[in-house]
Chain A
Amino acid sequence: MSELEETKGSQNGDQIVMPHKGGRTWIVVAALVIAVGVILAAVLSGGLLSSGHRKDSVALTGAGATFPMPLILKWADEYYNKTDNTVKINYGGGGSGAGITQIKDKHVDFAGSDAPLSATDSSTYGLVHIPETLGAVVVAYNEPGLQTLRLDGPTLAGIFMRNITTWNDPAIAGLNPGITLSSDQITTIVRSDSSGTTFVFSGYLTVVSNEFATLYGQGKSVSWHDAIGANGNPGVTQTIKTTQHSIGYIELAYAIANNVPFAQLKNHDGNFVNASLETTSAAASSATLPAGDGDWSHVNILNAPGASAYPIASFTYVLIYKELYNDQSKMNKTAAKALVDFLWWVVHQEGQSYAPDLYYAQLPSSVTAINEATLNSVTYNGKTLR
C-alpha cells in the first residue's frame, strides 16, 4: 500500500533517535509488570486460601429466565456458604429463550425458563423440567399520581395491542370509577429478549382476547406493535421506573422490591385481585403436573379458577439433562452430584424458606414430590445420583 513509499520520508524531518542504554521505557514497563504481578499474586494466594480452590471444588453454570433470578442468585450464594465454598453456581440470566438454547447446545449445566419446552423439544432432547418456584407476572406502571389501577383481561390486551393508547381511555376509566386519569399517551414497555415472562404474559392475553390470539399469539418473542424493548425483568423494571406514563409486564418480586406500583386484575371468577404470594399460591392449587421427563408444553396456571386466584401466575422451571454425562459436556461425576444435590436442597424446605422474603411463593408439597421423583431419576453414566 501507499505507506511503503513513506519509509524513505520517515528519515527526513524526523529527529534521529539514537539508541541509548537504560532509559525510562524499561523502568515503566517493569514497574507495571511488577505491580500487576503483585496484585495477582496477593489475590490468587488469598483466593486459594479462603475460597477453597480444593480438589472437590465444583463450578456449575446456568443461564436463562430473569423471572426467578433474584431467588436463584440467593440460593447460589447460600449454597456456596453451606457447602463451605466448594460449590460455585453461576447464573447468567439472559432470558428463557437464551437459557433453552444454551442448554440445548450444552454450553450450560442448567437452564432457567418460565416457558416449558415444546412437545417436540421435550421428546428430542433428554431434558427434564423441575419447577423450582412460583411467581406472578404483574402489570407495573409509572403514571404520576395514580396509586391504584384496576384492569381486566380484554382491556390489558387492548393496551398492549395499542388499540387503547391513552390513560383516560373509556375502557380503563370504566374499570376505575372515581379516579381521574390523564390524557397522556401510554408507553408500553416489553421484553426485547426471548423471554418466558413474555410467554406467560402473552399466554394470558391469548386466553382473554381472541383478537390478541389471532394477531399475536403466545410466544417467548412477540412482535409487539409500537413498544419499547428492554432486556430482562430488571431492564423492563428500570425502564418503567424511568419512563413516565409507561406500563409493562414484570415478575412480582421485581415490582415489590423496587417499589413499582402494579395493577389489580380481574380473575377468572370475576374478582379484582392483587398479586401476592397468597393469590399466586391459590392459582397453583388446582394445577396438575406431568412427570419430570414428560411433556410440559401445556402446563399453565393462567386464569386459574378460584376466588382469590391471581390470573397471571406461573411456575418457573429448571431444565437439566436426565442423563448428565455426555461426550460434549465437561461435567464430571462430582459436578453432576453437586447439581442434583443443589436442586434437591432448592426444592425442599431448606431452599424454599428463602423464597417468601424475596416475594416468591413456595412450592406446594405435591410439586416437591414430583421434583423428588424427577431428581431421583437423574443419572450419570446410567447410574442414578441420589
Chain B
Amino acid sequence: MASSKGSRLRGKPLRFGGDRIFEYTVMGVATLTLALVWLLVVRMVFDAQLSIERFGFGFLIGGDWDPNRDVYGALPFIFGTLMTTGIAVLIGVPLSIGIATYLSELAPPWLKGPLSFVVELLAAVPSVIYGLWAMYALRPVMVDTVEPFFQSALGWTPLFQGDPVGLDKFTAGIILAIMIIPTIASVSKEAMMAVPDSQREAALSIGATRYETTRIAVLTYARSGIFGACILGLGRAVGETMAVTMTIGNANRVSWSLLDPGQTMASLIANNWGEAQGLQLSALIEVGLVLFVIALLVNAFARIMVGRFMSRVPATGGGL
C-alpha cells in the first residue's frame, strides 16, 4: 500500500526536503485535473441555463426542434439515440457473447492469443473510418439486400415502413453494433477467463457437455462481468458521433420506422454546432449535458457491475 500513512514508525514519517516539493507538485497537478473537470461541467451547465430556464423539463419530451421559431426539444434525438443503441445492443450482445465464449472456452490454444488480439484491434479503428466504410460498403448491402428483406418479412410492423434508402437508423444501428462488439467481447472474455477452473471442473465431473459446462458454470459465474461488459458497450454506443452522423440521414423528427432517417443527440451536435447561436446554442449544449449525464450513469453502472464481479473473484487472484 502507498505508505504515506503506512510507515508509521515511532513519531512522524521520515521526510526529506525534496519530498515536500514533489508531493505538492504532484498534488497540484492532480488538483488541476479536478479543477478542469469542474470547469467543464460548470461551463456546460452554465451555458445550458438559457435553454433550461426556457423549456424546463419539457425539453426532454419536446418533439420540435425548430430554429425558425426558436423552439427546441430533445425528444427526437433521445429517441434516435435509444433506437440506434437499442439495435446496436440487440445485435452486438449475442454476437459478442458468442465470440467471448469461443475465445475463452472453445478456441484451440494456438488460436486464442492471435484472435483475441485481432478482436481488441477492432476497437482501435477510428470511428470516422467506420463511417466512411459504412457509406460505401455497408450502405449498398443494406439497400440492396438487408432492408428489402426485413421490409418483406416485417413490413407490416411500424418498424419497417418507408423506402429503404440506406441512410437511416437501421444502418446507423448496425455500424454501431460492429463498433461495440470488440468492447463487449473483450471484457466478457476476460470475465469468463477469470472464472476459476474449479467451477468448470466441477461441472465436467458430473458429466456436463462443454456447452452445458459453459452455460452452468462459466456464464452464470461471470454474468455480472458480462453484463457490465454489455453496459460498457452501451456506453460507447451512446456517445458515438462520427459513424452515426455519416449514416443516419439527419432528420430531426421522431419516427418509429427503422428505415426512416433520424438523428441522435451526438449527431445533432455535430451537425448544428456551427450555425447555433443564442438560444439554439444553449439548447444544443443542454442536449450535450443530457448526453453526458446518460453516458456517466451508464458507465458508472457498468463499473458497479464489473466491480461486483471482481469482488466475487477470490483473493487468490482467480486461479486455483
Q: Give the interface of A toward B (CB within 8 A).
A: 1-3, 5-9, 12-14, 63, 94-95, 97-98, 100-102, 104-105, 185, 187, 192-194, 217, 219-223, 227-231, 239, 242-243, 245-246
Contact = CB atoms under 8 A, between A and B. Distances in A.
A126 to B, nearest CB: 17
B277 A7 contact: no
B274 A98 contact: yes
- Interface of B, helix, strand, loop or mixed by DSSP: loop
Given A192-B250, A228-B261, A243-B166, A105 B310 contact: no
Contact of A101 (B253, B274, B317): B274
A242 B246 CA distance: 14
Contact of A104 (B66, B277, B319): B277
Given A12-B316, A219-B68, A230 B250 contact: yes
A227 B68 contact: no
Contacts of B58: none
B318 A13 contact: yes
Given A192-B251, A194-B67, A229-B261, A243 B274 contact: no
B250 A231 contact: yes
13 contacts: A5-B311, A13-B319, A94-B274, A97-B67, A98-B274, A101-B276, A101-B277, A185-B163, A192-B271, A228-B251, A229-B250, A243-B165, A243-B166
Contacts of A239: 167
Interface string B255-299: 000000100000000011011110000000000000000000000
A97 B68 contact: no
Nearest to A96: B275
B165 A187 contact: yes
B63 to A, nearest CB: 11
Best-surrounded residue of A223, A227, A231 (most CB of chain B within 10 A): A223
A13 B316 contact: yes
Given A228-B261, A229-B251, A221 B274 contact: no
A-B interface, 7 closest residue pairs, ranked by CB to CB distance from nearest: A13-B317, A98-B274, A97-B275, A192-B250, A229-B250, A194-B275, A98-B275
B274 A63 contact: yes
A97 B277 CA distance: 10
Contacts of B307: 1-3
B68 A102 contact: no
A98 to B, nearest CB: 3
Given A9-B317, A13-B316, A192-B271, A221 B166 contact: no
A9 B310 CA distance: 11
B250 A228 contact: yes
Contact of B68 (A7, A193, A217, A231): A217
Interface string B60-89: 000000111000000000000000000000
A247 B317 CA distance: 63
Nearest to A7: B1
Contacts of A228: 165, 167, 249-251, 261
A101 B163 CA distance: 35
A16 to B, nearest CB: 13
Contacts of B318: 13
A67 B274 CA distance: 17
Contact of B277 (A6, A13, A105, A223): A105
A208 to B, nearest CB: 20
A383 B234 CA distance: 59
